[in-house]
Amino acid sequence: MPRYHENTYGIVAIALHWTIALLFLGQIVFGFSMEQVKSLALQFELIQWHKSFGFLILILAFLRLLWRLAAGRPQPPATLSRVERVAAETVQWTLLIATLAVPLAGWALASTSTLGIPSFAFNLVVVPHLPLTPSDEAEAFWRETHKLLAYGAGMLAIGHAAAALAHHFVLRDDVLVRMLPGRAARPATHRVTLETNDDV
Amino acid sequence: MSDHVPTPASAGKLAGWVLAASLLLPSAPASADALSEAAGNYRIDSSSKINFKVDQVGGGGIKGSFGSYSGSFRIDGSNVSKSKVTITLFPKSVKANQARMEDFLRSDAVFDVANHPEITFRSTSVTRTGDDGARIDGVLTARGKSRKAQFEATVGKRNGKAISFRVTGSIYRSPYGMDVGTPIYSNVVQFDMTLNGTRK
Ligand code: HEM
Ligand code: HEM
């Protein structure tokens, strides 16, 4: 039952998509960079910022999941083949889950670390550790999981972005435009609706 | 001193005690003054304990100790305020609950033991705060920076050859360029030491 009758994701989903996309990709670059830092003092501070932004992403991703479940999404453009739709849908769900799973794995890493460093998000809120037993093995496991999920999701996101850009610049359809604020901001009556099977 | 004072259960016992005390008069006033009686020069021996603690947000904190140190003190019998104490800690010997934490403390993030192998405290004045207690003011030097510091000392066990002090004090670490981890970890380092002095 599609709740969207316009050919746009709507301003909420669009705001969440681009905020999370920016933070998520930034967080991967940040995570990679902080590992290269030589000064342990600076690295400590950077990891705390990394954790803070990670929690922020986790909250936003959770809101997005709720929004997605509540509001659904616009019908895929009619120009897409069945394979394309399934592929896009699969990648998007994987990315959505990754934006939850990566910070959760990071949280598990911080929670199982034998260093027991508290999480003090943005120096404002103490985020309790997950109820996991700290040990060197658990910490190593979650570090590796966090890292693999993060870089894996990063690669998938690049593919996802490339596909979106290809749709826009090569195939010249409106896949990307549906995710841009311009259309969502226009009054509903003036919105271009290319969908013919809107009520399916 | 307090072990000389019984708790009289009856007036009879009290009278007996007063009598006994008056007979012991030559030594009784001296025992009420542990510090002057213990006058002399002492070396801080290796059975001492130098523990510290740094609180963290949400409860708990880092507990550590220094295994290697050297120092001496002189108790001035006629004028306790002229007493002196100097102590040098070797931060390379820092112990914490975790090898990684110890490495972190030794690194240039905290003690920077490669460039600053010693932390010293030199008293500048001693003020009596009671029969068996004193406040010690002095200068604490760490990472090449010297700042005023204050400790409270209480006489513990003692005999003719040795005297033990419990020494406590809280030091702000930021003036020494050791503020890494604030505000997750408190700026205040709480020292709790047992200094065992052996007469020189
Ligand atoms: C979507 C959010 C997040 C992303 C994309 C992300 C990504 C990354 C990346 C790419 C690294 C570097 C891995 C490496 O090369 O070794 C990293 C490290 C790390 N992450 Fe995250 N992270 C996120 C959230 C979190 C959260 C919420 C926490 C903890 C509460 C966290 C804790 C850590 C820690 C402690 C490290 C350093 C591990 C180490 O020093 O070995 N991360 N993260
Ligand atoms: C930076 C370049 C990016 C571009 C150009 C881009 C573009 C798009 C477009 C056009 C759509 C709509 C696709 C359709 O209707 O079938 C979409 C949806 C989606 N994208 Fe991206 N995206 C980018 C980055 C990301 C990143 C980094 C993530 C997550 C890590 C992400 C996660 C999603 C998800 C989950 C959806 C499904 C819609 C929703 O639930 O909001 N995207 N993206």
Q: Is the pLDDT of residue A35 over 50?
A: yes
β-sheet bridge partners, residue B50: B66, B193
Q: Which residue of A has its CA nearest to B103?
A: A40
What pLDDT does residue A183 have?
Answer: 73
Question: Percentage of residues in chain B with pLDDT exceeding 70?
Answer: 84
Residues contacting B3, CB < 8 A, separation 6+: none
- Does the Cβ of A164 fall within 6 Å of ligand 2? yes
Most informative mutation of A22, A57, A160 for ligand 2 (most atoms within 8 A of CB): A160
**Between B180, B183, B184, which is nearest A41 by CB?**
B180
How much is the pLDDT for A79? 85
Token code pair at residue B114? 């490669």
What residues of chain B score a pLDDT lower than 70?
A: 1-32
Instruction: Identify the pLDDT of residue A189.
Output: 44
Facing A114 at nearest CB: one of B98, B104, B107: B98
Average pLDDT over residues A45-54: 98
Omega before residue A103 within 30° of 0, cis: no
Three-state SS letters, B67-102: CCEEEEEEECCCCHHHCEEEEEECHHHEECCCHHHH
User: Which burial class, exposed, middle or buried, applies to A96 when counting CB atoms under 10 A from its CB (0-12, 13-18, 19+)?
Assistant: middle
**A157 within ligand 2 shell (Cβ under 6 A):** yes
B 140-199 residues inside an 8 A Cβ radius of A = 180-181, 183-184
Handedness of CA A59, A60, A66, A69 (dihedral sign): negative
- Calculate the alpha carbon distances from A144 to A58, A108, B92 in Å: 19, 11, 31
> What secondary structure does DSSP assign to A126-151, as a single string?
EEPPPS----HHHHHHHHHHHHHHHH
Please tell me if residue A122 touches chain B, with a CB cutoff of 8 Å: no
What pTM value is reported for the model? Answer: 0.86
Q: Is the pLDDT of residue A23 over 50?
A: yes
A114 touches B: beta carbon within 8 Å: yes
Indicate the domain borders of chain B.
34-199
Among candidate residues A129, A41, A31, A50, the one with its CA nearest the CA of residue B56 = A129
Are residues A40 and B57, on separate chains, in Cβ contact within 8 Å? no
Q: C-alpha B33: how far from its chain's center?
A: 19
Task: Read off the tokens for A6.
Answer: 């316009």
SS3 string, A17-84, reads HHHHHHHHHHHHHHHHHHHHCCCHHHHHHHHHHHHHHHHHHHHHHHHHHHHHHHHCCCCCCCCCCHHH
pLDDT per residue as tens digits for the range A78-124: 888 999 999 999 999 999 999 999 999 999 999 999 999 999 999 99
pLDDT higher than 50, residue A196: no
Ligand 2 neighbour A161 (Cβ under 6 A): yes
Q: What is the pLDDT of residue B22?
A: 44
Which domains does chain A possess?
A: 11-194 (1.20.950)
Provide the pLDDT for residue A164: 95
User: What is the second-level CATH architecture of the domain B34-199?
Assistant: Beta Barrel (2.40)
Return d(Cα A111, Cα A53) in angstroms, integer. Answer: 16
Tens of pLDDT, residues B34-43: 778 889 999 9
Task: Look at ligand 1, atom 42, and give the residue with the nearest C-alpha.
Answer: A106
Using the atom order of ligand 2, give the atom closest to the CA of residue A99. 30
Cα(A112) to centroid of ligand 1, in Å?
14
**Per-residue confidence (pLDDT) for residue B114, from 0 to 100:** 96
**pLDDT score at A192:** 46
The residue behind tokens 């009758």 is A5
Angstrom distance (rounded) from CA A69 to CA A1? 12
Q: So what's the pLDDT on residue A186?
A: 60
pLDDT tens per residue across span A142-177: 999 999 999 999 999 999 999 999 999 999 988 999
